[in-house]
Amino acid sequence: MTDPRPRGRFAPSPTGPLHLGSLVAAVGSWLFARRAGAEWIVRMEDLDGPRVVPGAADEILRALERYGLTWDGEVAVQSRRTVFYEEALAQLRAAGHAYDCGCTRAEVARAAGAPDAADPVDAAGAVYAGTCRAGLPAGRAPRAVRFRVPEGIVAFGDRVHGRIEEDVARAVGDFVVKRADGPFAYQLAVVVDDAAQGVTEVVRGGDLLSSTARQIALQRALGLATPSYAHLPLVLGADGKKLGKRDGALPIETLDERRVAESLALALRLLGQEVAGEAPGEMLAAAARSFGVTRVPTGPLRVAADGGIVSGA
């Protein structure tokens, strides 16, 4: 990309209708971009095929329009971009940054001594022990492809959380960039797409803060520029759990003027911003003029059943 213009993005997964958590991410990234005079693009991250809901992508786009969140250019769709991920993976392999792994999730968990080591389905949180780092052990067939994480600290400045440091090799180990069941992993796809689309600032939910150091490691290995990062507060339900697609769902058929105004105002308050105006365009324009990064909360926020905000979740 040679386009010098700053560019932000919103990248939802079409696994259901827009919900309050994703609305906060959309509004937050839109405000960061528009306040800086940047373009704002939308990308559908639909690589996890079994979880994609037919029609959800179109519904999300119609909901964004209903909220006045207009985007620039065409909407990119990850499932149509696999050739670019193949090229990036070939580049990593050629430079010795990626290798085949024959381990199952259960084996990764057992090798790491994870509490769920007996669970063949979920090894989340287990640090990869490097079993296949020097080559596939005898009798092993390749399954996933892993990124060879270099030693050392990855540090970056988050515009909301300040300086973040992580030793990816110790915290995560060599991580998967192409899954055993075929699809490319989120970490690789998002790095390739952000670079190809000229994204200069990534503004997203706080649940992805832990992915950032891995993505920066990939950017360095691929010779790509690192954008700025800002991670917004997570939106939790009254029970303190992260809102799912059902919990805070905002299906398009329910988005009358009243609900649009109420949910947009709530999203702005969750971002610590002032609310002014009644129509979506008025509210967003006012928020963009008065937008203050220092007012964006760092911690998760609970939303009560009546729409009230409970801090310190």
d(C-alpha 264, C-alpha 285), whole Å:
12
- 101 and 40 share one domain: no
- 17 and 27 share one domain: yes
- 44 and 171 share one domain: no
- 68 and 129 share one domain: no
- 75 and 120 share one domain: no
H helix runs in 3-104, sequence order: 20-35, 56-66, 82-94
- 62 and 137 share one domain: no
Whether 160 is covered by a domain: the verdict is yes
Whether 2 is covered by a domain: the verdict is no
Whether 202 is covered by a domain: the verdict is no
Percent of the chain residues past pLDDT 90, beyond the cut: 79
Whether 196 is covered by a domain: the verdict is no
Helical (H) or strand (E) element with 167: none
Whether 204 is covered by a domain: the verdict is no
Whether 187 is covered by a domain: the verdict is yes
- Residue 248: both structure tokens together: 């805070």
- 160 and 68 share one domain: no
Is the CA virtual torsion 278, 284, 290, 296 positive or negative?
positive
- 241 and 141 share one domain: no
Of 226, 253, 281, the residue at which a domain comes to its end is 226
Q: Please, is 295 exposed, middle or buried when counting C-beta atoms within 10 Å of its C-beta (0-12, 13-18, 19+)?
A: exposed
Give the CATH number, domain containing residue 72: 3.40.50.620
Q: Letter for the amino acid at 60? A: I
Is the CA virtual torsion 79, 83, 88, 92 positive or negative?
positive
pTM: predicted TM-score of the whole model, two decimal places:
0.92
Pick from 184, 180, 1, 3: nearest CA to 83: 184
Confidence of residue 311 (pLDDT cuts 50, 70, 90): low
Q: Domain range for residue 268? A: 7-80+233-310
- 268 and 280 share one domain: yes
Pick from 154, 160, 162: nearest CA to 32: 160
For the chain, the domain total comes to 2
pLDDT, tens digit, 9 for 90 and up, residues 116-142: 433 333 345 689 999 999 999 998 899
Whether 222 is covered by a domain: the verdict is yes
**In this predicted structure, what is the pLDDT of residue 1?**
44
- 93 and 63 share one domain: no
Task: Give the rounded distance of the alpha carbon of 229 from its chain centre.
Answer: 11
- 292 and 184 share one domain: no
Residue 2 has pLDDT above 90, yes or no: no
**In this predicted structure, what is the pLDDT of residue 238?**
80
Other beta carbons within 10 Å of 256: 9
- 90 and 182 share one domain: yes
Q: Compute the residue count for the chain.
A: 313
**In this predicted structure, what is the pLDDT of residue 117?**
38
Sequence-separated (6 or more) residues with CB below 8 Å from residue 295: 271, 272, 273
Is the CA virtual torsion 264, 194, 50, 71 positive or negative?
positive
Kindly state the average pLDDT of the residues 175-182.
94
Whether 198 is covered by a domain: the verdict is no
